[in-house]
Each structure stands twice: as C-alpha cells, then as structure tokens.
Amino acid sequence: MENIERVRCLIIGSGPAGYTAAIYASRASLNPVQYCGLQMGGQLTQTTIVENFPGYPEGVDGNQMMLEFRAQAERFGADIRDGVITEVDFSKAPYKLTTDDGHVIYADTVIIATGASAKYLGLADEEKYKGEGVSACATCDGFFYRKRTVAVVGGGDTACEEALYLAGLAKKVYMIVRKPFLRASDVMKKRVYEKENIEILFEHNAIGLYGDNGVEGAHVVKRKGEPDEQIYDLPIDGFFLAIGHKPNSDVFKPWIETDEVGYIKTVNGRPLTNVPGVYAAGDVADPHYRQAITAAATGCQAALEAKNYLAENGL
C-alpha cells in the first residue's frame, strides 16, 4: 500500500452506522475505504444477544450481527481495513487524514461513525462479567431480566430512564446513587419515586461484583468514608451502568463542532456537520437514542449525502 492515497469516500468506524454507510456507499459506486477503529463492530460486540433489530426474529449474537453487516459491505466492494485514524486536517478539501501506521489519505468525503463509549466505574469485575450480567444499555439487554432483580448505577436523567424501563420488566430495581439525592429533573424523580418496584440506595457505591455463573450480586458500601460506613452484599442478577457516554470525537474537535459533552452537532436532522462533505452518523452524533437501528439509519443517510455531494461537485 502506498503511503499516500486519494479516495472519494472515507468511512471511520465499524458499528451499525459505519457498516451501513459502507453498504450504501459501495452500491452507489463511491469505492469507499473504511477504517474499523479500535473496536471492530462497535458496542454491539460487547453485548450477547440482540433481539430488537428487525429481521432477526430469534435474536442474534452481537458479534455475529456485525460480521454479517461487514460481509454485506464487502460483497458490494467496500475496502474495509483495520486501523485507527489518529490525525485529521479538515481545513480544505480534499481532507487529509492519517492512520496509526502513518498512512496518509486524502478524502473527498468523510463519514464519521466512531460511536460513543459507555462510561464504567473502573471496577475489574465490570470487565469480568461484561455480557454476563453487566450492561450499559437497558433497552438492549433488559429483556433478559424479566421478573428478576437488577441494579442501576447513577442518579441522573439517564439512570432514571433506565430504571423506569427496567421496572417494567424486572421484579425489583435498585438504584445505586453515590449522592444523597437524585440529579435528575423533577419530572423524572417523581416518576421514579412513584414506581413501587424501584428502591433508591442513596449514598451508596458499588465496589465489586460476585457470582459463579454471571452476576449474582454486588458488593456495596453505604456512606463511604464516614464513621457509620457499612459494607454489605446486595443480591442482584443484572448490573446496569447509567453514568453517561463519551462520544469518540476528540480527534475531530479542532475542526468539527460538538456540544459540551462531545457529541458532533448535525444540521436540521440530517448527518451534515459544519464542514462540507464531512458527515456524522450513529452514536457519535446521537445523545438521545443510541440504538443499532437508529445508527444504521443515519449511516444510510450519510452515504446518500456523500453521493449527492460528490455528484454536485463533479468528483
């Protein structure tokens, strides 16, 4: 491979948004090049069974689903590569991007589909039980905990939303809240307080998990560091993190407008960024839904926008 390359469409990221963009861009004869990034297949590869994506009536393993997305993109000619984009220059077109091995690409259009990473507490047990009781998406995995007992970590609007969703499925939902109050909006707090099967554990921290066959409970500490500190075990079947997401947008921030959290700003419900010919799709630009189906939809939109941009500019 030459050290410098010119492409019509470069796709960064390989989750549902990135692979869908690659499918549509390939079918539109844009000859896309796609770099998969650090986590090939995106966040879905960290879950087990995906049951809410149309076309899979029996559910599908997240890794298998992403392999099928990839195979479909490759079938239409997408050039899919390992590697990470470490530097970008969007000051003028064609746009200059550099990979982690020093390869330089000049791209007429760029689709950013780098996703967002769920924030975790940093416990070793979170990694140990990932996919076996630990989740950062109640909508994705809540179904597996019908009539069971779960815990949600967090005290903001997202945590309340996750707890309320799970309360419609689970027998019991604990909210593990570090502070002596909820940070959520008044309306969300009211809904949580009124839900009979949600119990809020204020001034609690999770310090570990245990279980021989997946998560069977959490080690928690009440009023950590205080004279009346109490450490005990909380029996649960599922442990849901709801302390926020970090969009994977840092490398683009010198050129692309983001909100205060880091989500890429798009224009009028379309995947357009402030840089012509550069588009954002999937969770990197979505602080609200964060679902595979919505990510795939915006990947489609981004590819169609890139096709139109290239045609309008004779590229």
Instruction: With H, G, I as helix, E, B as strand and everything else as coil, classify residue 74.
Output: helix
Q: Give the span between the Cα atoms of 166 and 190, in whole angstroms.
A: 16
* Residue in 125, 140, 160, 237 annotated catalytic: 140
> Residue 158: which H helix or E strand, with range?
helix 157-167
Contact 215, 133 (CB under 8 A): yes
Contact 35, 81 (CB under 8 A): yes
Q: For the chain, how far is it from start to end, CA to CA, in angstroms?
A: 23
Q: What is the CA radius of gyration of the chain?
A: 21
Block residue for tokens 């560091």: 225
DSSP secondary structure letter of residue 204: E
Reply yes or no on whether 141 is catalytic.
yes
* Residue in 9, 137, 160, 286 annotated catalytic: 137
Contact 50, 56 (CB under 8 A): yes
Q: What is the largest CA-CA distance in the chain?
A: 72
Return the amino acid letter for 176: I
Q: Give the span between the Cα atoms of 30 and 32, in whole angstroms.
A: 5
Q: Provide the CA 110 distance to its chain's centre, in angstroms.
A: 20
Reply yes or no on whether 9 is catalytic.
no
DSSP string, 89-151: E-SSSSEEEEETTS-EEEEEEEEE---EEEP----HHHHHTBTTTEES-HHHHGGGGTTSEEE
* Residue in 108, 141, 237, 286 annotated catalytic: 141
Contact 249, 264 (CB under 8 A): yes
Under 8 Å CB-to-CB from 63, ≥6 apart: which residues? 41, 44, 45
Contact 236, 218 (CB under 8 A): yes
Reply yes or no on whether 140 is catalytic.
yes
Enzyme catalytic residues: 137, 140-141
